[in-house]
Amino acid sequence: MPFVTFLPQNIRVEAASGASLLDAAHEAGAILDAECGGEGVCGKCRVRIVSGPIPPGSADFLPQNLLDAGCILACKAALGDEDLIVETTAASRGQGQFAEDAVDEAAVPDRALSRPLAQRFHLAVPPAAPEDGLADADRFAVALGKALPECVGRAPDIPLPVLRTLAQTLRREDGRVSATLALRGENARIIDISPGHDARSLLGAAVDIGTTSVTVSLLDLQSGARLASQSDFNAQISRGLDVISRINYAARPERLEELRRLVLDTINRLVREAAASKGFAPEDIVAAVLAGNTVMSHLVLGLPPEHIRLEPYTPTVREFPTFIAEALGLCMHPRAEIFLSPCVGSYVGGDIVSGLLTTNLAGDASDPEAMELFLDIGTNGELAVGGADFLMTCACSAGPAFEGGGVSCGMPAGAGAVERISIDPQTGALALSVIGGGAPKGLCGSGMISLIAELFRAGLLDPAGKFDRSGASPRIRVDGRRAVFTLAEAAESATDAPLVVNETDVENLIRAKAAIYCACDLLLTHIGLTFDDVATFSIAGGFGRFLNLEDAVTIGLLPDVDRAKFRFLGNACLTGARLALLSEDRRAKQIELARSMTYAELMTSPEYMDGYTAALFLPHTDGTRFPSVKKG
């Protein structure tokens, strides 16, 4: 049995002879993307052999120069009997590409801080006296009752580990103690009691658990200030790119447990990094809000998700109990209070409920009659439309194109990603805007939208998504029946390989934008409205730090309405989680929103297929819908 070592992670694993290197990588927990499911097509699992015999099987899938350099596709490499050392590429291991400044979060208003998920109180507990007959816990309860008169009835139970040190804690500083509590209406749960009047920061974490990426934001629960944010791919992506493939993978109990561990590992690493970046320990975090879609919420809890995709599409739970961190395996204070954003149903989850907190639909509208459409563009497109009286929601499957998935040189919106392209109308010269500067590594969602819009305006891409094969651009190369656009030559890119976009990539993006546009159109039609009736379009998503509205309208992703009606919310799910962390009212609002939303199952209707097909053009088969869009 050979040993395989993965660099740069330096993970060593014993593997079976004959097993594929991709399986060995999964076994080792060294993330290797395998979007195509091991078919040798996507090329994302490319690795380089550093030491040991080069396994055969990649000759048909990689160009000779890469093969000469020792590169192979892990999915096609059968292991022999000898040990291997392999180096994973940044693309194959899918990490390290997120820069903190790429985490797009809206500012949280000052008034947001009101009964955060955990609070600390400084108490003065009277000393033990022979005549009163009170136990330590009784005297603590008296002091707590004075600080918290609104918590009627008897004092909250003291957890056993806290009880075990209570006698010492009360006597260390003459009865002066700090009590950290999770408040739930008139009830309170004791998280910890420590000696003295603790002046250290009290930390909370807001966690956006996306299908593709996870973001952790660290907050000071006493000031509301954001202290740090960390983001990375959800380690589950090595087991499937979308929620359906995760559900399928989780069919066996040990694989469900594996998915739970993978996402926990990602969250816990980000939590540790965020805390360490400001000199804190993870144990300083005493509260967290987790927001994710229904499948992510189920997987992080270890709940089998299979019935989410089986008729009649039933999740195990929609409104989650509150948990303590220890019960979930989160790396925080063991008794940190954990609130999960509630789900509406199988396909509308806590992510959109959380994101709605950032919109007028959360009850802060100056004109409650004004219609608002909230659109969260991710691997799933989820949308909600409503006003004072109703809130209607639906979801559609857009695929991972907007997050850099399913595109030859796609990558998430992080350092090295091309986020914007402009083509000089005179010279045809390209100007690339790269996150963090430097040579480009790949193309993120907003870059892909920008590229397609620019090519369309320049006349280099036709409404059906085919490149101009007339030779008008030297960057367009025709290879048999395929045409390819070269964004950067190998010498210009940071990956030593050319960055190219082919017509299949364009088609994937057109399918994605068609699904989103059509879902919005159909949901409005379903309730008797048109795009013109909507006063505000609130757009959220992980495609980049910003979305160029003209580009999005040009390709037909967003409707051709007054641009002043658009608001871009960035990562609204994360912002909503931060709001919920800081305010009991916002947590109650999430639950209220989830209960008030009506889910419309539109994807199975014939109208959806018609509308989707009509939208598979740039910008649309019906040009009257996009009067402002002109082909270059």
Nearer to a second copy, 195 or 304 (CB): 304
**Closer residue to a second copy (CB): 134 or 561:** 134
Q: Which is nearer to a second copy, 157 or 489 (CB)?
A: 157
Distance of CA 301 to the CA centre of its chain: 17
Candidates 130-138, 358-366, 416-424, 522-530; binding stretch for a second copy (CB under 8 A): 130-138
* 135 binds a second copy per the rule CB under 8 A: yes
Do 158 and 135 form a contact (C-beta atoms < 8 A)? no
Token digits for 37? 């499911």
- What gap in Å lies between CA 601 and CA 265, rounded to an integer? 34
User: Which of 283, 529, 516, 247 has the alpha carbon at shortest distance from 383?
Assistant: 516
Position 304 contacts a second copy (CB under 8 A): yes
Among 99, 317, 494, 527, binds a second copy (CB under 8 A): 317
Per-residue x/- track, 158-187, a second copy (CB under 8 A): x-x--xx-xxx-------------------
Candidate segments 195-203, 282-290, 307-315, 483-491, binder of a second copy by CB under 8 A: 307-315
Chosen residue from 313, 468, 527, 585 binding a second copy by CB under 8 A: 313
DSSP code of residue 127:
P
* CB of residue 600 to a second copy, shortest distance in Å: 11
* Element (DSSP H or E) covering residue 23: helix 21-28
Q: Is position 384 an interface residue for a second copy (rule: CB under 8 A)?
A: no
Report residue 532: phi and psi, to 5°: -70, -20
Report the 3 state secondary structure along 516-584: HHHHHHHHHHHCCCCHHHEEEEEEEECCCCCCCHHHHHHCCCCCCCCHHHEEEEECHHHHHHHHHHHEH
Among 51, 114, 223, 314, binds a second copy (CB under 8 A): 314
CB of residue 132 to a second copy, shortest distance in Å: 9
Assess contact for 69 and 30: CB atoms under 8 A.
no
> How many angstroms separate the CA atoms of 86 and 25, rounded?
10
Report the nearest approach of a second copy to the CB of residue 576 (Å): 21
476 neighbors 460 (Cβ within 8 angstroms): yes
Q: How far is the CB of 539 from a second copy (least distance, A)?
A: 27
For residues 319 and 622, which CB has a smaller minimum distance to a second copy in the complex? 319
Total binding residues for a second copy by CB under 8 A? Answer: 41
Tell me whether residue 318 or residue 545 sits nearer to a second copy (CB atom): 318
Select from 195, 196, 184, 188 the least CA-distant residue to 141.
188
User: Judged by CB under 8 A, does residue 90 bind a second copy?
Assistant: no
Residue 248 within binding range of a second copy, rule CB under 8 A: no
DSSP letter, residue 400 = G
Instruction: Give Cα separations from 53 to 2, 9, 81, 82 (angstroms).
Output: 12, 21, 10, 7
| Piece of the chain touching a second copy by CB under 8 A; list 40-48, 313-321, 537-545, 570-578 | 313-321
Q: Which of 91, 236, 108, 97 is nearest to 542 (CA)?
A: 97
Nearer to a second copy, 133 or 474 (CB): 133
The verdict on 157 binding a second copy (CB under 8 A) reads yes
As measured in angstroms, the least distance from the Cβ of 435 to a second copy is: 39
* Least distance from a second copy to the Cβ atom of residue 306, Å: 7
Determine, following the binding rule CB under 8 A, whether residue 315 of this chain makes contact with a second copy.
Answer: yes
**Are 71 and 48 a contacting pair, CB within 8 Å?**
yes
Among 27, 265, 306, 550, binds a second copy (CB under 8 A): 306
Contacts of residue 597, Cβ cutoff 8 Å, sequence gap at least 6: 344, 348, 353, 384, 391, 392, 393
Which conformational region is residue 53 in: left (phi greater than 0), alpha (psi within -120 to 50 degrees), or beta? beta
Q: What is the token pair recorded at 79? A: 């292991």
Our finding on whether 142 is near a second copy (CB under 8 A) is no
Q: What angle do CA 332, 335, 336 make, to 5 degrees?
A: 55
Q: Compute the least distance from the CB of residue 149 to a second copy, in Å.
A: 21
Q: Among 81-89, 129-137, 365-373, 470-478, which window interacts with a second copy (CB under 8 A)?
A: 129-137
Q: Which is nearer to a second copy, 250 or 434 (CB)?
A: 250
Q: Judge contact between 22 and 74, C-beta under 8 A.
A: yes
Q: In 126-195, which ranges are continuous DSSP H helix?
A: 136-147, 160-172
Shortest approach of a second copy to residue 127 CB, angstroms?
A: 9
Q: How far is the CB of 252 from a second copy (least distance, A)?
A: 13
Question: What does the CA dihedral 617, 211, 244, 442 come to, rounded to 10 degrees?
Answer: 50
Give φ, ψ of 60 to 5 degrees.
-80, -5
Among 63, 64, 81, 133, binds a second copy (CB under 8 A): 133
C-beta of 422: minimal distance to a second copy in Å?
46
Tokens linked to 501? 């976009």
For residues 323 and 135, give the distance between their C-alpha atoms in angstroms, rounded to a whole number: 29
50 binds a second copy (CB under 8 A): no
Task: Find the radius of gyration of the CA atoms of the chain.
Answer: 27
Touching a second copy, residues 328-347 (CB under 8 A):
328, 343-345
Positions in 564-623 near a second copy (CB under 8 A): 599
Q: How far is the CB of 97 from a second copy (least distance, A)?
A: 33
Closer CB to a second copy, residue 321 or residue 425? 321
Amino acid at 526: H
Site string for a second copy, 342-371 (x = CB under 8 A): -xxx--------------------------
- Per CB under 8 A, the list member of 53, 185, 196, 321 interacting with a second copy is 321
Work out whether 301 is an interface residue with a second copy (CB under 8 A): yes
140 vs 617 by CB, closer to a second copy? 140
Which listed range, 56-64, 153-161, 418-426, 572-580, lies at the site for a second copy (CB under 8 A)?
153-161
Q: Counting contacts by CB under 8 A, is residue 18 touching a second copy?
A: no
Work out whether 327 is an interface residue with a second copy (CB under 8 A).
Answer: yes
| Residue ranges in contact with a second copy by CB under 8 A | 128-130, 133-138, 157-158, 160, 163-164, 166-168, 301-304, 306-307, 311-319, 321-323, 327-328, 343-345, 599
